[in-house]
Amino acid sequence: MKILDGLELSGYIKERQLKQVRALRQSWRVFPRLAIVHAGDNPIINTYMRLKCEYGKDIMIEVEVYKPSNAELLNQIRALNDNDDIHGIIVQLPLADTSQTEIAINAISSIKDVDGLTADSTFTPATALAINWLLAGYNINLSSKKVTIVGKGRLVGAPLAKLWKESEIDVTSCDINTTNLKDILQSSDVIVTATGAPGLITSSMVAPNAILVDAGTATEGGEIVGDLADDIRSRTDLTVTPKRGGVGPLTVSALFDNVILAARKIADQKGQQDNLKL
């Protein structure tokens, strides 16, 4: 079995990002800052936020975590929208009150929505970008392959399908209503799964020499698990993301790439203003 190691690729990206942030800080006096907003107290979610804080520290991006009450969630987001020192804002999902998800996400300013989830966001969603990087990093050319995405969610499936269709890649999207999922997967060269249904994709559903990217996350017995069944990892002919260190590390890298992009726009504005003064 060949492994698609996102953690290794993330290390190279982090080095590049550190150089970019240094240039923004030293040449333009722009200090990139990310705000993470989360209403809730889930130990697993807290771990995700801590990892993002650590990543930001490694590349000199300031990360601030805000934990408003459900009642103050929208006011907190609006205040961050109005804060010119904050370049990126994300709402860490899931919220304790999931009924607030759509309202909270759409309250983020489109120029600060570095998760790329609002309808008019100027950024590519982080997980979709991460999967693109992962496959490109291992020289997997999708233009000549039949690609299937299992899951049509707003975080992964929908934005990834949109991204690839815009690049004229042959993509089939499936969800819970797809009745012939096994047939579709058995004829696919590349499978990306992001359903959050543990063990959904089994070995018998996958063709020889297929490439599988598991972007599904769910909790089972207090652990994070993906969509791929264990029997898939016993096959030697497949190319697969590992249980840990596949899409996840690159998603964090992609998020911070969007923060850098948002900060760079501020630097460009400063440059234009300086030129006008000359």
Task: Give the model confidence (pLDDT) of 4-29 as tens digits.
Answer: 999 999 999 999 999 999 999 999 99
pLDDT at 185: 98
As a whole number, the mean pLDDT across the chain is 93
My answer on whether 63 and 138 are in the same domain is no
Least confident of 48-57, 117-126, 164-173: 117-126
pLDDT at 273: 58
Range of the domain at 193: 126-248
Is 122 a residue whose pLDDT tops 90?
A: no
Look at residue 20 and tell me if it is in a domain: no
Q: Are 151 and 195 in contact (CB under 8 A)?
A: yes
Total domains in the fold of the chain: 2
My answer on whether 85 and 155 are in the same domain is no
My answer on whether 166 and 219 are in the same domain is yes
Look at residue 117 and tell me if it is in a domain: no
Is 276 a residue whose pLDDT tops 50?
A: no
Pair of tokens at residue 124: 């590519």
- 187 to each of 108, 147, 172, 191, 192, how far by Cα in Å? 40, 9, 11, 10, 14
